[in-house]
Amino acid sequence: MAGSIKTKITPPRWLLAELTYACPLQCPYCSNPIDYAKYQSELSTEDWKRVLTQARKMGAVQLGFSGGEPLTRKDLAELVKHARDLGYYSNLITSGYGLTEERIIQLKEAGLDHIQVSIQASTQELNDHIAGTASFEHKKEVARLVKKHGYPMVLCVVIHRENIHQMPEILAMAEELGADYLELANTQYYGWAHANRDLLLPTKEQFEKAEAIAQAFKETVAGKMKIYYVVPDFYEDRPKACMNGWGTTFLTIAPDGVSLPCHSARELPGLDCPNVKDYSVEEIWNESKAFNFFRGVEWMKEPCRSCDEKEKDFGGCHCQAYLLTGDMYNADPVCSKSPEHGVIQEAIDSAARSALSVNEKPLIFRNSKNSRLLS
């Protein structure tokens, strides 16, 4: 079933280093796997340095230090320095929780290129509720300090039904904080977000209104602030070209060393994702079953196989196909050509019913207790 050997393998360009699953926040849309609490072990400093070296040699250049909360790793500055020495362009993807001015300076000296701070909402009450931690004022202070110390400041706000009405205030906050980049990431429904979908998925009207506001704002800040808008694919009729094509560009290394073609791929059955403790990055990228699984187009079933857009979106997202149709070889059901496309409307309807219900169930927050309960 693995991808055809005829498929030309391109080298990785982006490396996402998930340093840890530990996180002081409990965001209910976290992209970590639901069963993350099972994976307690973390790679050592030396393991990470070896992985960074090997991936860089192959051509990886964009590097994200992520998690969990990467700041919980005591060796972060050491890893940043190693990455800088290798020529990576490195990004710290952080909640900002626990980030002091001293550490911001230390990381800058180590060679960190930019810091992406996530804020959950435009008000303290909602931010602290969604994050599951009192963190709003500190996050804003961190955003200012990031700016002050000469980093490009990337503000990331994940958008969902609880905060989508705050779009105007979120944009005003980004401007006030002097964000150079604003990532407005409509929630993607995997992992924890999948479990909480009925409570997070906005209606089409809510989404269209928020998008119109964001697009108008984009014009007014052109040249000052760059906006990355991640579309909510449930309201599209063609799927996203997930990961720019499986095993073509992106490499994720999970905290325990498991290598993934996308950060959600841990949810897919039977991939046998290899561990960097057992293989080199080059062996993993070029030869492993997991990375060859959906390379090229040989794996496709109908309607993808005969579709004239198959080289454009590669059949969409396999994790979404698996979660929503039970078969990862199916076309991403977001596609209107998918025979299972109806599940998307069912999800939208279900979320709308939940929003109107007087007994709406509570959000399941991302923490170790819930992780153990759900896995």
Tell me which residues touch another protein (CB under 8 A).
11, 13, 57-59, 61-62, 87, 89, 91, 113-114, 116, 150-152, 154, 180-181, 183, 223, 226, 228
CB-based contacts of 262: which residues, under 8 Å, 6+ apart?
242, 243, 246, 250, 252, 319
| Bridge partner residues of 186 (DSSP) | 159
Which DSSP letter does residue 190 get? S
Least separation in angstroms between residue 212's CB and another protein is: 23
Identify which of residues 283 and 309 has a Cβ nearer to another protein in the complex: 283
Identify which of residues 180 and 287 has a Cβ nearer to another protein in the complex: 180
Cα gap 357→344, rounded to integer Å? 20
Identify which of residues 92 and 290 has a Cβ nearer to another protein in the complex: 92
Identify which of residues 91 and 133 has a Cβ nearer to another protein in the complex: 91
Q: Is 214 helix (H, G, I), strand (E, B) or coil?
A: helix
Nearest to 303 by CA among 331, 275, 336: 331
Q: Are 335 and 314 in contact (CB under 8 A)?
A: no
Which DSSP letter does residue 257 get? S
Least separation in angstroms between residue 116's CB and another protein is: 7
Q: Are 174 and 225 in contact (CB under 8 A)?
A: yes
Q: Are 290 and 298 in contact (CB under 8 A)?
A: no
Least separation in angstroms between residue 279's CB and another protein is: 20
User: What tokens appear for 271 in the block?
Assistant: 């991939």
Q: What are phi and psi of 94, to 5 degrees?
A: -135, 155
User: What tokens appear for 211 in the block?
Assistant: 């998008």
Least separation in angstroms between residue 179's CB and another protein is: 11
Least separation in angstroms between residue 56's CB and another protein is: 9
Identify which of residues 185 and 276 has a Cβ nearer to another protein in the complex: 185
Nearest to 56 by CA among 46, 66, 48: 48
Q: What are phi and psi of 267, to 5 degrees?
A: -80, -15
Least separation in angstroms between residue 241's CB and another protein is: 16
Identify which of residues 179 and 193 has a Cβ nearer to another protein in the complex: 179
Q: What is the pairing mode between strands 259-260 and 250-253? A: antiparallel
Would you say how long the chain is, in residues? 375
Least separation in angstroms between residue 14's CB and another protein is: 9
Identify which of residues 153 and 268 has a Cβ nearer to another protein in the complex: 153
